[in-house]
Structure 1
Amino acid sequence: MASATKFSAIASRALSSRRLSSSASSLSAEVPSAPLDLADTRRLFASVPTSALVRSLATLSALAAAPLVDLGTAALRASTAAKERNLLRAAVFATARATVHRHFCAGEGVEEAARTVREMWAGARLRSILDYGMEDADDGTACDRNLAGFLRAVEMAASLPIASASVCVKITAICPISLLERVSDQLRWEQRDPSFPLPWRTNSFPVLCRSSPLYLTPREPEPLSEVEEDGLQLALQRLSTICQRCVEANTPLLIDAEYTSVQPAIDYFTYKAMQEFNRSEQPIVYGTIQTYLRDAKERMVSVVEAAEEEGFSLGVKLVRGAYLTRETKSSSSMGAPSPLHASIQETHECFDSCASFMMERVSRRPGAVVLATHNVQSGQAAATKAEELRIGKDDQKLQFAQLMGMADGLSLGLKNAGFQVSKYVPFGPVEQVIPYLLRRAEENRGFLSTSSADRKFIRKELLRRLVAAVARRT
């Protein structure tokens, strides 16, 4: 498992030491006889070589040094902005390739990524969510190029061991950002004024809700031009092409959530694809809800109800959120309230409430949920909830997921408990995945205290192995 055990344990924004909501609608904070055991590090890291643990601990410790992280992110941003190739730019990319890229990504090319997926599956039976690391396309040419990359990822997933991989896609990579912003403006204004005509809209699924922030569209937008409508149809066709390939390969497709300026359009794309392709009990297409948004629960409930009325199965991936700094700066610059929950505790409570709602829903109706969390208590509570609802551990209705290079102790603990667990596995050249790497660096720099528990897991296991090795020699 040389490549696959690039594992680390950097915790997410969700501070694992916080208690979960005690309300009846959320997962219980009290978890007696929890099925998830993270105390036995020998069992937890049984499939991970000592060399991989040492490398992960070294990387985590470096990432815990805030000045070093700040310097590294500044160098990456400057090198990305540089138009000319030079020795400094090459040195920065080479350093990133050997450190953060190696830690958080599966490789630069398809073959390297496929090898990593096979090793994770063979060594720990961890699944992979393949992410061809492209985002923020500016024009149709870039979108078509990215489409080809996503289709290669689907082909790769189909060639891997059965059930070992799924694929994710970012709508910002297959539809120009400017068009997504225009479509989102239209949808926000429709939420404000239901009489506002949207001739291009082909369904009425609830993309926004009463509590959704509308400050990004302060005035009535101009209708889409004929060229923009044609571009929208081309982008929808790109997504449809990816979905059709996934259906043929029986490979789930997870559509990522992004920042609020374009999220309404992303949701429109997502629900349109679900309506077309999620016609069996087990969904092919999954959308993503970011629970650090104040309107997350209301939007999720409304689309669940709409899906049941329309008769298609709903696939939902729940995350806490990855664009905190961007959202905060955006709302502040416009003098508007933040779209995010006021505290990390409120975000925890929203995630757990949404998780509980979705687990109860899929336990008795068609659909599936992926709980993408790095929070240990959320994992423990959800595992207990699954047993209460008698959701089978081999049932595709429930999956857990964590990012590659983050919360690997939780991933392995959930897998050891018998649950379906995936790692989100980006791949692509360093310069291509820099936006993703910068988010990981920013995330970890801002919430460094959350990695201490996972570093503790690794230290404990390394110490145990050292003591055992000394005992064998004496």
Structure 2
Amino acid sequence: MNQIRFITGFRRLLISRDNRLIKQKYPWILTTWHTPKYGYSSNMDSVNKSDTVTDHFSGVSGSAQWPDRPWSNDVDMKSTLGLGYEDEATQESTNVNAELDFENAEKAFANKSNLELLRAMLILRICSYNVFVNNALKLWKMGQGILGKRLFSSVMKATFYSQFVSGETSEDIGKTVARLSSAQIGSMLHITAEDSSGCSDKEQWYNTNADGVLECINLQTIHCDTSQQVISQIKLSSFIDTELLDKLEVVIKKNGRNFVNDSLVNYKNFAQGLDGNLQPIPELTAAENESLAAALQRINKVAQKSVDCDFVFLVDAEYYSNCSTMAMITFAMMSKFNHKKTYVWGTYQALLKETFNNLCMDGELAKKENFGFGFKLVRGAYLETEKALALKNGFQAPTNDSYEETNLSYSKCMDYAFDQIRKSPNGKYITMFATHNEKSVKRVVAMMKKEGIEKKSGKVYFGQLMGMCDHVSYSLGKAGYLIHKSVPCGSIEDVMPNMSRRAIENKSVFARLDKEKKMLSQALRKRIF
């Protein structure tokens, strides 16, 4: 009862606009107060309040066109929006609903303690208010000033940090991995470093990040169930200057995002660069060529370690301004490592207008070059930033104009993926559907059943974020599907500021987790009463 009273009182404090202390000391809280409404949003993963929303990881995109294909036109809008399963691809919906129980709170959170339920309910509720997400870094500094760094870190570790981060030490990380593994959920450990802006010694920063990724891989060999496919996860901006990526992007776009061309900015030269044999690129200065060569060898080092451990090496994509360069580097790694097994995966986000064409083009080129093609499909999380950058620089936004268009893109990419999986020999074509949307998850499962794809075949995976939509993740794991959580690790000083910035990009996600918050409350009440 005291727990419920505490939550209720805290909630009243949060929504009280007349609190004098807040008005006097922190007026910015009231001026920026806003609770997001349902509808079109930055992550564009829900139609209405009842949807369980999010899409998180970023994606790779580009600009070239691809001829019309039978799956690219006349897509049934009902299935595209995830509103029904009457179309051919989803006739197994009855079996899917019986197999995946997203409604039973008691079963969904059976692995969680009362304290974990209380923490999740409180944290997700706090994060649903834009005022806290928008001012996370200010609140961080304010908390350190009031409580002191040591006490504030203790509070954060017991709340936000524990909800979204696996830990800092091998022991703590091992406990998180074991807890997820007990629910048949894999852990994609990763560091959170990205973008070297503000670093005085960038090369040293990149090398430190590479060491961090290598340590994550070592921890996975210790703590993860290696009888199942282990997946390591990275961001390329942890290893290479984004300004250099931007400069290469201009050249790639001039070549029509063609990864095979007569210039030296092509995937084969990048692949040679992985082995230390990069031919200098005329468009770059000598120093920039040296930096690129070092970056490619750095990337190769961590990728080789992952492959040597028989782990998948998943490359997240980031901003549109350098996505084609990241895609080409990822493709170069595929050409080196994906012959015997599809080790290297890229990422494609459906909110970008060009994604479907690029996905088709890259998949066909991989097939032509005779190596495996793996990728993670997301809706995306950088809508607000991309639109702001487009407005600032005076060009058309690369993102879709509406939520429906993004859903159409996601559905087309999904259909294309299953078409290629069906045709792929020896499972060389692999897709991870990274979404928390219940209807999208059920549609993927229905298509797996229709195509006769076994749950453990290794052809289809699901990906989700640690600390969110566990009722979906745990249900998938219990049903035997290949589900992995994206699991950050590192010190609170390294992780939380970065995660605060990422939360701003994904703030609509938190605002829409009504169902999960309700289920957490139901599960806790049943245990207490």
Task: Give the alignment's TM-score, normalised by structure 2.
Answer: 0.75
Q: Does residue 65 in structure 1 map to residue 96 in structure 2?
A: no
* Aligned partner of residue 42 in structure 1, secondary structure: helix
* Aligned partner of residue 53 in structure 1, secondary structure: helix
Contact conserved, 1:289 with 1:319, CA < 8 A, in 2?
yes
Compared CA separation, residues 264 and 192, structure 1 to 2 (3 A): closer
Structure 2 residue aligned with 1:211: none
* Aligned partner of residue 288 in structure 1, secondary structure: strand
State the one-letter code of the partner of 2:237. T
Q: Per-residue deviation at 1:368?
A: 0.8
Q: Does residue 14 in structure 1 map to residue 73 in structure 2?
A: no
Query: Pairwise CA RMSD of aligned residues?
Result: 3.1
Q: Per-residue deviation at 1:72?
A: 2.7
* CA offsets 1:95-114 (integer angstroms, 9 cap, x no match): 54443222211112444223
How many percent identity over aligned positions? 25
Contact conserved, 2:82 with 2:440, CA < 8 A, in 1?
no
Structure 2 residue aligned with 1:7: none
Q: Per-residue deviation at 1:229?
A: 1.6
Structure 1 residue corresponding to 2:433, chosen from 371, 382, 387 = 371
Structure 1 residue aligned with 2:460: 398
Compared CA separation, residues 65 and 277, structure 1 to 2 (3 A): same
Once residues 103 and 242 of structure 1 are traced to their aligned partners in structure 2, the CA distance between those partners, rounded to angstroms, is 28
Q: Per-residue deviation at 1:164?
A: 6.5
* Aligned partner of residue 423 in structure 1, secondary structure: strand
Contact conserved, 2:184 with 2:480, CA < 8 A, in 1?
no
Structure 1 residue aligned with 2:193: 134
Structure 2 residue aligned with 1:270: 330
Once residues 336 and 352 of structure 1 are traced to their aligned partners in structure 2, the CA distance between those partners, rounded to angstroms, is 27
Compared CA separation, residues 313 and 417, structure 1 to 2 (3 A): same
Q: Does residue 252 in structure 1 map to residue 312 in structure 2?
A: yes
Q: Does residue 74 in structure 1 map to residue 138 in structure 2?
A: yes
Q: Per-residue deviation at 1:410?
A: 1.1
The correspondence of residues 99-138 of structure 1 with structure 2, limited to 5 A, is: 99-121=159-181, 123-137=182-196
Q: Per-residue deviation at 1:251?
A: 0.8
Once residues 147 and 175 of structure 1 are traced to their aligned partners in structure 2, the CA distance between those partners, rounded to angstroms, is 11
* Aligned partner of residue 320 in structure 2, secondary structure: coil
Once residues 356 and 24 of structure 1 are traced to their aligned partners in structure 2, the CA distance between those partners, rounded to angstroms, is 14
* Aligned partner of residue 124 in structure 1, secondary structure: coil
- Range 144-153 or range 271-280, more displaced: 144-153
Structure 1 residue aligned with 2:378: 319
Q: Does residue 380 in structure 1 map to residue 442 in structure 2?
A: yes
Compared CA separation, residues 304 and 197, structure 1 to 2 (3 A): closer
Structure 2 residue aligned with 1:173: 238
* Aligned partner of residue 256 in structure 2, secondary structure: helix
Compared CA separation, residues 345 and 89, structure 1 to 2 (3 A): farther
* CA offsets 1:391-432 (integer angstroms, 9 cap, x no match): 101111111010111111111122222211000001112332
Once residues 23 and 333 of structure 1 are traced to their aligned partners in structure 2, the CA distance between those partners, rounded to angstroms, is 34
Contact conserved, 2:127 with 2:511, CA < 8 A, in 1?
no
Q: How many residues align?
A: 435
- Range 150-159 or range 37-46, more displaced: 37-46
Contact conserved, 1:13 with 1:443, CA < 8 A, in 2?
no
Q: Per-residue deviation at 1:153?
A: 1.2
Q: Per-residue deviation at 1:89?
A: 7.6
Structure 1 residue aligned with 2:292: 232
Structure 2 residue aligned with 1:470: none
- Range 173-182 or range 162-171, more displaced: 162-171
State the one-letter code of the partner of 1:330. L
State the one-letter code of the partner of 1:119. R
Q: Does residue 30 in structure 1 map to residue 84 in structure 2?
A: yes
Once residues 360 and 269 of structure 1 are traced to their aligned partners in structure 2, the CA distance between those partners, rounded to angstroms, is 25
Once residues 152 and 349 of structure 2 are traced to their aligned partners in structure 1, the CA distance between those partners, rounded to angstroms, is 32
* Aligned partner of residue 232 in structure 2, secondary structure: strand
Contact conserved, 1:25 with 1:357, CA < 8 A, in 2?
no
* Aligned partner of residue 262 in structure 1, secondary structure: helix
Structure 1 residue aligned with 2:222: 159
State the one-letter code of the partner of 2:520. I
- Range 302-311 or range 32-41, more displaced: 32-41
Contact conserved, 1:294 with 1:341, CA < 8 A, in 2?
yes
Compared CA separation, residues 132 and 357, structure 1 to 2 (3 A): same
Compared CA separation, residues 461 and 294, structure 1 to 2 (3 A): same
Once residues 451 and 404 of structure 1 are traced to their aligned partners in structure 2, the CA distance between those partners, rounded to angstroms, is 14
* CA offsets 1:157-211 (integer angstroms, 9 cap, x no match): 1223212742111110111222112222221222289999732534399xxxxxx
Contact conserved, 1:101 with 1:430, CA < 8 A, in 2?
yes
Contact conserved, 2:81 with 2:404, CA < 8 A, in 1?
no
Structure 1 residue corresponding to 2:103, chosen from 30, 39, 47 = 39
Q: Per-residue deviation at 1:47?
A: 2.0
* Aligned partner of residue 188 in structure 2, secondary structure: strand
* Aligned partner of residue 203 in structure 1, secondary structure: helix
Structure 2 residue aligned with 1:146: 209
Once residues 258 and 183 of structure 2 are traced to their aligned partners in structure 1, the CA distance between those partners, rounded to angstroms, is 52
Structure 2 residue aligned with 1:213: none
State the one-letter code of the partner of 1:30. G
Q: Per-residue deviation at 1:42?
A: 2.5
Q: Does residue 454 in structure 1 map to residue 520 in structure 2?
A: no
State the one-letter code of the partner of 1:376. E
Contact conserved, 1:100 with 1:437, CA < 8 A, in 2?
no
Structure 1 residue aligned with 2:15: none
- Range 311-320 or range 131-140, more displaced: 131-140
Q: Per-residue deviation at 1:227?
A: 2.1
Q: Per-residue deviation at 1:303?
A: 0.4
Q: Per-residue deviation at 1:66?
A: 3.1
- Range 282-291 or range 64-73, more displaced: 64-73
Q: Does residue 50 in structure 1 map to residue 114 in structure 2?
A: yes
Q: Per-residue deviation at 1:29?
A: 4.1
Q: Per-residue deviation at 1:22?
A: 2.5
* Aligned partner of residue 467 in structure 2, secondary structure: coil
- Range 311-320 or range 260-269, more displaced: 260-269
Q: Per-residue deviation at 1:294?
A: 0.9
- Range 175-184 or range 457-466, more displaced: 457-466
Point out where structure 1 has 5 or more consecutive residues left out of the alignment.
Answer: 1-10, 206-220, 468-474
Contact conserved, 1:186 with 1:198, CA < 8 A, in 2?
no
Structure 2 residue aligned with 1:294: 353
Q: Per-residue deviation at 1:270?
A: 0.3
Once residues 424 and 27 of structure 1 are traced to their aligned partners in structure 2, the CA distance between those partners, rounded to angstroms, is 25
Once residues 93 and 327 of structure 1 are traced to their aligned partners in structure 2, the CA distance between those partners, rounded to angstroms, is 33
